[in-house]
Structure formats: structure tokens, C-alpha cells
Amino acid sequence: MSSIAQLLDGKALAQKMQTELATQVQSLTPQYGRPPGLAVLMVGDNPASAAYVRNKEKACAAVGIASFGKHFPNEATQAEVADMIAQLNADDRVDGILVQLPLPDHLDSVALLNQIHPDKDADGLHPMNLGRLVRTEPGLRSCTPYGVMRLLEAYNLDPAGKTAVVVGRSILVGKPIALMLLDANATVTIAHSRTPNLAEVTRSADILVAAVGRPNLITADMVKPGAIVVDVGINRITDETTGKSRLVGDVDFNAVQSVAEYLTPVPGGVGAMTVTMLLHNTVWSYQQRFQK
């Protein structure tokens, strides 16, 4: 019995959520006397980062969030960026601050991220917010894993009682998604590049999350038939014959779609949710500040 997996359409869900956020912002702005504000800081001219920042600013405008972007030249110093973060922490118009990664090598990104006020940490990466996640306390959640959870919820895929395997242990995705799945009553295993018999571990998963950043790492024989497969990887590969580049995930999509029951596409799956959760976090912070 072979059927094609149902796609978890992150793009459609992201559009629906952004429409809902726009309605919410429209009704709150007159009450609070100003719109929510998001500041995106970028250093240097990495083309991928520049595209992400443009995308975020466009999404902000669509929802009614004010953008306070700041673009530094590549040679900006640690002190200059830190000073800007301090100004934004104190700026009452700003509810969310995001430092676009990666930063140039001479900057200490961890130190800069830690300077963002935890209540304005739109990316949910401050140690205080990660601590709140560990303790299952309310707080800002890391956007990509949070987007994965919202996507599962939208398709009524409840992790409770299921075996979940997360491949990848980054602080951006792997660790927080494992905690979120645990919080949703799944039994969670974290695997990674040094896990012996990786295929054996992944085949036990009712929910398999791939977040390694390695193209087509997860093949059909690594997936339990009928599993929910969430592909967080976004890898740009270039076709050697045509020279054209395209985006692929960590999952071998064509092969896995005949084994899994649900599968996220790349692009159009988790990536689309990440920016939406950033907007959601900004609006959440905005509401928290006015409800205190």
C-alpha cells in the first residue's frame, strides 16, 4: 500500500496567521496609541541575509508592524552594535529586536544576543527565554521550532503519546523543538551527526524532525511508514549541468513522500512559518507591555 504523503503547507498557514495578526494589530493600534515595532539589525552585506531582512520588513508592513531597521557596514565594531541594542532596549516604540545572523567573524554574536532585553527578544534566543522554555513558563519562543509546533497543531497532529526523534541539536532549532515536543507529551530522542545507527533511531519515530543543514540526509529507508516528517533544513544546491541553484531540505523529498503520511515541503513548509512566528512574537511582546 503506497500512497503519497499529505503536505503540511506552511505557506498557506503563514498567510492565514498573518491575516489574523493584521486584524489584531488594526484593533490594538488605536487602543495602545501606536503600532507594534520590530527592529532588525544587520551587519555587512551577506546577500542571503539581505534577502531575509527585506522579507521580514515586507511582512511587517503587511501586518501593520513598524520597522526600525539598522544596517551597519561590514567593519562595524562590537561597541557600535552593542550601543544600538542598548538604544533599542530603551526605545518605547520597539517591542522586538532581532540581530540577523550570521554576523561577520570579528563580532561576538552570543554577547550581542545576550544584550537584547529578554522581553524584546523577538527570536526567543536569550538565555532567559530558553530557561523559560525549559521550565514551561510563558515567554518568547524561538521562531522556527515554534512555527513547527503551530504547523502540527493546524493539521490536528497531536504529539501526545508519540515517539519523536529530532535530528540536530542546535540552540536555534534542535534543542528548543525537542523541549516543545516534550512539553506536548511526546517521548523525545535527540539524535545528531555522531549518533551511531542513525537510521535505526529515526525509524522508531512517529514524528521525525530533520534540522541538520545537510541536503537529502534523511532517505526513505530512515523513515517509519506512516510517520510525520518535518524538514527544517534549507540548503541551496547548484545543478552542475545548468549552473542554476535551488533550495532543498534535509529530507530526500521525492523518496520520502511515498513512505511518510505527512511531510513538509522545502520551500513552502517550515521556512514560511519562521517569519510569521517572528511577527507573532513581536505582537505578543507588544500586548504584554500594555497589559502590565
Name the CATH superfamily housing domain 142-271.
NAD(P)-binding Rossmann-like Domain (3.40.50.720)
* Confidence (pLDDT) at 132: 97
142-271 shares the fold of 33-120: yes
Q: Which residues are catalytic, by number? A: 56, 100, 123
Per-domain residue ranges of the chain: 33-120, 142-271
The binding site for NADP(+) comprises 168-170, 234
Confidence of residue 239 (pLDDT cuts 50, 70, 90): confident
Q: What is the pTM of this model?
A: 0.94
* Confidence (pLDDT) at 241: 86
The binding site comprises 168-170, 234
Give 246-264 pLDDT, tens digit per residue.
Answer: 889 999 999 999 999 999 9
Confidence of residue 1 (pLDDT cuts 50, 70, 90): very low
Task: Tally Cβ neighbours within 10 Å of residue 65.
Answer: 26
CA dihedral 260→261→266→269, nearest 10 degrees, is -150
Q: Which CATH class is domain 33-120?
A: alpha beta
The answer to whether 69 and 100 are in contact (CB under 8 A) is no
Give the helix ranges, DSSP H, for 68-108.
78-90
Statement: residue 69 has pLDDT above 90: no
Percent of the chain with pLDDT over 70: 99
Give 101-125 pLDDT, tens digit per residue.
Answer: 999 999 999 999 999 999 999 999 9
- Coil, strand or helix at 12: helix
Q: Cell numbers at residue 242, please?
A: 545548468
CA distances to 26, 135, 281 from 173, rounded to whole Å, are 31, 17, 16
* Confidence (pLDDT) at 292: 67
| Terminal Cα distance for the chain, rounded | 56
Q: Cell numbers at residue 105, please?
A: 567573524
